[in-house]
Amino acid sequence: MSNLAPTTTIKALHAAIESSLRAHFNASVQQYGTYQPWDTDSDAPDSELRTPALLVELEAMDPDDVALHLPGCVALRCALAVHVVLGVLTDDLQVALRELAAAVITLVRQTDTAAAARPPLNGNHWGLGEAVGTPEAVSARPAEFRPGLNGFDAWIVTWEQIVYLPETLPTD
């Protein structure tokens, strides 16, 4: 049995958040994935966007010297976001955007009852247990959504979460 603290990777965090979004919203959302900024060179997004869409973004990460220091890991304070995107022809667009953003906030704040979390952790840990901290500073606001400037509107749900990475990251 290892004495090292639970850790994860940025790739696993993205996949876990997206998986949680898919499981929660199912077919009511048409597209899940990673937020891709508008390609200014080609003046087009990388792929066609289907709405409603929930797109995960890691906006920033900083070393966190205040977080619990555990052996064998590095703590990063990550600024995470989910872009909530709807087409402009959506009935009652602004209310629909706010409703979907509120549902994402509820998921972020939901208590994680994954088997790895004993006792259940307050706030969503995306099934990664103690490898991530409790979501903090959760909020939502209208977004300046760059992909598909014409035809889409968006809100952005943001939060901060401590993520514990291994001291030695894989090189593959």
39 or 63, which is more confident?
63
Distance CA 32, CA 126 (A): 15
Q: How confident is the model at residue 168 (pLDDT cuts 50, 70, 90)?
A: confident
Determine the Cα angle at 142 with ends 55 and 36, to 5°: 30
**Taking a C-beta distance cutoff of 8 angstroms, is the pair 111, 126 a contact?**
no
Q: Please give the pLDDT value at position 51.
A: 92
What is the average pLDDT value for the chain, to the nearest integer?
A: 84
Domain boundaries, given as residue ranges, for the chain: 10-166
Q: How confident is the model at residue 73 (pLDDT cuts 50, 70, 90)?
A: confident
Q: Please give the pLDDT value at position 6.
A: 85
pLDDT tens profile 109-158? 987 765 555 555 578 999 998 899 999 999 999 997 665 556 889 999 99
Q: Please give the pLDDT value at position 1.
A: 41
Separation of CA 152 from chain center: 20
pLDDT tens profile 14-39? 999 999 999 999 999 999 988 876 55
- Tokens linked to 95: 């209310």
State mean pLDDT over 71-79: 88
Distance CA 160, CA 22 (A): 21
- Computed over its alpha carbons, how large is the radius of gyration of the chain? 17
CATH 3.40.50.460 fits 10-166, yes or no: no
> pLDDT at residue 104 above 50?
yes
Q: 139: part of which helix (H) or strand (E)?
A: strand 136-142
**Which residues are CB-contacts of 116 (< 8 A; sequence separation ≥ 6)?**
6, 127, 128, 129, 130
